Amino acid sequence: MSTAKPGGEPGGGPGGKNRKKKDGGGWIGCLIVVAVFALPIALPIGWGMWDEGVFDPDLSDDVTAVALGPAETARLAERLAEASRRDGICYGWEVESGTAAPLQIGSNLGVGADPRLDPARCPNWIVLRADYSYIFKEWSSVGHSIEDSYPRAELAPADLAAYSVVEPSEMGDRAVAELADAIGSLPLLAAEAGLAQASPAQGREPDPTASTNDELSSPRGAGWWFMTGLGVLLIALGLLWIIRGAVKERKWRRDP
Amino acid sequence: MKKAVIGGGILTLIGAIVLLVTLTGGAKSPRDWIAGRFPASGGGYQSGQPPLRTADQIIRRSQPLDRAYDPAGVFLRYPGAVVAVLPAAGGSLIYVDTPERGYARWHRYVNGRWGGPDGRASLFRGGGPGDGK
């Protein structure tokens, strides 16, 4: 049975060309479907590899990188200073970044000031220690411990995980935020252990320290926009495919 | 036409599922749960547990987009709410605000982490030294 249209060339006539074209269209459709399934898998994997520096041979960060930047340590010292004045306890941190960079130490006394070495100003102190393993440009694991000046070790690092302050099994995008959270929660932990009296935050609206263009960041990350765009694109392509098929069908019926 | 309907239909369906999951997935505001779980008190809600335990209950119920632990309290960010859990006599006080109002109200504790000039957060971001790349 020939697919050639009446009056067409036998074998390789217009009907044959149409059939070839239709088969080609089917393959293109299959390729689109495969690409659509592959994109959401391949792109995040590729992005993750780039993000982890797999394609970057420069290892200089391994020598110089520190966990907390100057603005971050200054912020922690300022926040802990307020708590220390209230509680009569010195709060501090000691962070081993796992790189060749020096140990990061700080406290309510300031960046670089170790409360454990200043008994005159800090008869009572609590220090969070974080020890990171750093392999090929990223932290691979962390161990937390809490040192304090009290006869019985009152604060347990396990509490940080128990209260969801840190998630030790994950070293994701919140690794630095978790470090800040662990340090920032020391006064709350001390209050839970009965060592201090926590006092509530003072909400002020507007905050006089805020600049006029100070705004909340967008809660949507790049991943959310990518998936939304992908969904819209797929719907558009699908509808276009159906419309194109309907138009061709109509044309064929009108002009067989 | 049959191929176009099947192929196009599959594409449209996949797109609709991707869009639906993206738009409806993610963090949910715990506003209603907090209102039903804790008694109202002075514009907020009262908890008999200290801030870390109270915040942990809320987090386990509804994972926030972001969080900030400060000596003054625990601050949780959701798509439609900012929740502050503050120490109080006998436990904690919980305040639930819209994101913009919550950011302004607790700015002193969350600025730089959740926002900043032109909406750019600059403090405590990323996964560690070098952060890859």
pLDDT digits (tens, 9 = 90+) for B81-115: 999 999 998 899 999 999 999 999 999 999 999 99
DSSP assigned state of A149 = S
Cα torsion A105, A111, A112, A117 to 10°: value is: -80
Which of A64, A185, A250 should be substituted to probe chain B, the one whose Cβ sees the most B Cβ atoms within 10 Å? A185
> Looking at this predicted complex, what is its ipTM?
0.84
Query: What average pLDDT does the structure give for chain A?
Result: 80
> Is residue B130 situated within a structural domain?
no
| CA nearest to B129, candidates A174, A167, A61, A103 | A61
- Residue A127 is inside which H or E element, if any? strand A125-135
Nearest CA in chain B to A54: B133
> Is residue B133 situated within a structural domain?
no
What is the model's pTM? 0.77
Contact A191 B84 (CB under 8 A): no
How close A107 comes to chain B (CA, Å)? 13
Which of these ranges, A19-28, B31-40, B123-132, has the smallest mean pLDDT? A19-28
Strand-strand pairing, A214-216 and B73-78: unpaired
pLDDT for residue A70 is more than 90: yes
| Cβ neighbours, 10 Å, residue B18 | 21
What's residue B92's pLDDT?
95
pLDDT digits (tens, 9 = 90+) for B1-23: 788 888 889 889 998 998 888 88
Q: Residues of A with CB below 8 A from B29's CB?
A: none
Contact A82 B68 (CB under 8 A): no
Contact B65 A214 (CB under 8 A): no
Nearest CA in chain B to A35: B11
> What are A138's two structure tokens?
């990223």
What's residue A239's pLDDT?
92
pLDDT for residue A136 is more than 80: no
- Strand residue runs (E) in B1-133: 40-41, 44-47, 66-70, 73-78, 81-88, 91-97, 115-117
pLDDT for residue A11 is more than 50: no
Which of these ranges, A44-53, A102-111, B24-33, B57-66, has the smallest mean pLDDT? A44-53
- What average pLDDT does the segment B48-60 reach? 96
- What average pLDDT does the segment A116-138 reach? 90
How far apart are the C-alpha atoms of A91 and A85, rounded to whole Å?
10
What's residue B133's pLDDT?
43
Count: domains in chain B: 1
Contact B108, B115 (CB under 8 A): no
> Is residue B16 situated within a structural domain?
no
> Is residue B67 situated within a structural domain?
yes
Q: CB contacts < 8 Å between A and B, how many?
A: 282
pLDDT for residue A30 is more than 80: no
Share of chain A above pLDDT 90, in %: 34
Which of these ranges, A89-93, A132-136, A248-252, B120-124, has the smallest mean pLDDT? A132-136
Cross-chain CB nearest to B123 (options A72, A215, A238): A72
pLDDT for residue A10 is more than 50: no
What's residue A169's pLDDT?
65
pLDDT for residue A210 is more than 80: no
Contact A224 B127 (CB under 8 A): no
- What average pLDDT does the segment A215-240 reach? 85
Which of these ranges, A76-85, A225-234, B29-38, has the smallest mean pLDDT? A225-234
Q: Residues of B with CB below 8 A from A40's CB?
A: 18
> Is residue B45 situated within a structural domain?
yes
What's residue A1's pLDDT?
41
Among A57-61, A135-139, B76-80, which range has the highest average pLDDT? B76-80
> Is residue B96 situated within a structural domain?
yes
> What are A30's two structure tokens?
């299959």
**Chain A touched by B98 (CB under 8 Å):** no
Per the structure, the complete domain to which residue B82 belongs is given by: 26-114
**Chain B touched by A176 (CB under 8 Å):** yes
CA quadruple A99, A103, A107, A109: dihedral positive or negative?
negative
> Is residue B120 situated within a structural domain?
no
> Is residue B15 situated within a structural domain?
no
